[in-house]
Amino acid sequence: MKEKVAVSKRLSENIAQMEEFFHECDDIKKKELMLGRQMDVACYLTFIEVSVDMGTSALSEVLKYLKGLGKEEIYQALEQNALGISDATYFDTIEDAVDGLLTGEVILFVDGFDRAVKIPDDGYPNMGITEADSEKVIRGSNEGFCDSVKQNAALIRKRIRSPKVKVKQKKCGMRSNTNVYLVFMEDLVYPGLVREIGHRLEGFEIDGVLDSGVIEQLTEEKWYSPFPQFQTTERPDRAAMAVLEGRVVVLSDNSPVGLILPTDYNSFIKTSDDYYNRWEIASFGRLLRYVASFFAMTLPGFYLAVTNFHTQILPTMLLLSFADARSGVPFPAVVEVILMELSFELLREAGVRLPGAMGNTIGIVGGLIIGQAAVEANLVSPIVVIVISFTALCSFAIPNEEFATAFRLLKFFFIGMCAWLGYFGMLLGLLFVLIHLAHLKSFGIPYLMPFVGADLTDYEDERDFLWRWPIRKLTKRPIYARREERVKLKLK
């Protein structure tokens, strides 16, 4: 590795080094100024053009302050870090100063002073705090994460105002130098968990990390599984809940999506407003989502198994209705189902890619038109349109989009198994999925917790499982928290 170059007391040498790094960079502004009452101290400012406001920023206050001092007073103020701003950082090497500049701050070199000073300013432009799009709730905060990792960490701190909340910074990407924050509660999290995610972040080298999804894919243990081993969220309140449970939240700069670890099947089914609403309606909604996750994966395959192999389980009138609906359809039932499934998946993809209201329109109108036209043309039967539409509704009911994607993929696996072996193929497919889930872990936590391992927490986790007990009964933290810190609620 190339040895770093120390910041020199000679300003001309520092300027030459910075010019070597940033030649042909027209967006990097470079200014040479004179400081002090006698204008006898030369300095050099460099910053990214859009990240600094020269008029009203901290930089203008610092320059105004230094212009009112004598030469020796300037050096003394720099030595004692007496610039009157809280976030001034000193760098001993040119390379560190370059990294500081690329975070969107101002770098100041002063002739006769052998360190560079990073002065905080506006930083890179970002979209700001907006409403979370993918995790809608009926009750609760509407704030969502933004593209700035610092603001996202602050949104969690806003909700948990405790010095026990720790934020650990990592760098990812050899060329992008992306800031990655690990946010956790010091007294609740297992120290080994923080070390483990740190080791995994150091276990790869890549040119750039432009979104948290890159981190997720490179740090998953079972990378071939369709089920995500990180829980994703755009909601600060959901992330804050995870921190209070003893979990770690991974935030990546330039990404509005945070990663929560460890996780399990049950965590993906929960929503934020499960805990803001009364236990009866929260339990009903959760049971509904569990049923939806099952049908989103198996319903088209089950339809094929019944109509092709096991018609005897249907009432006679219903069977005759199915036969009448399929009269004139030239394709086998499996081709019919796959054709409609692919059509709906294409509509879903088109709706995502088209902008704004146009995307919503193509999703609704396109589904109605294509479904109706296919039935009238005798390409598919009406019952297949109903089955596929209900399956799509079930997948939309799953709160986490990434988790729902696993069921969308497995749906085609079950279609193939049921078209081949009928009901036996469906049972065999369920067996394969359950065996895979039983072997799956997220940072040491069984994926089927608390289906399995409920005795590890004295069955306390089952109170927040298929149904949510009243909030006054949820007195213990889940398995993620340290064993000695499980109590979270004490009624007086």
Cα–chain center distance at 285: 23
pLDDT tens-place string over residues 159-182: 999 999 999 999 999 888 899 999
SS3 184: strand
Return d(Cα 273, Cα 446) in angstroms, integer.
25
Mean pLDDT of the 134-144 span: 81
pLDDT tens-place string over residues 428-443: 999 999 999 999 999 9
Mean pLDDT of the 460-476 span: 89
pLDDT at 71: 87
Most confident of 148-152, 433-437, 470-474: 433-437
More confidently predicted of 51 and 155 = 155
More confidently predicted of 367 and 248 = 248
pLDDT at 206 over 60: yes
Global pTM reads 0.86
Cα–chain center distance at 485: 27
In sequence order, the 6+-apart residues with CB closer than 8 A to the CB of 426 are 298, 301, 302, 305, 414, 417, 418
pLDDT-derived band at 42 (thresholds 50, 70, 90) equals: very high
Cβ burial 334-363 (10 Å sphere, 16+ → b, else e):
bebbbbbbebbeebbeebeeeeeeeeeebb
pLDDT at 57: 65
More confidently predicted of 355 and 237 = 237
CB 261 within 8 A of CB 231: yes
**Percent of the chain surpassing pLDDT 90:** 49
pLDDT at 53: 65
pLDDT tens-place string over residues 373-397: 777 788 888 888 889 989 999 999 9
Token pair belonging to 300: 């088209």
pLDDT at 86 over 70: no
Sorted by where each begins, the domain ranges of the chain are 11-119, 149-263, 279-445, 449-485
Mean pLDDT score across all residues of the chain: 88
CB 293 within 8 A of CB 407: yes
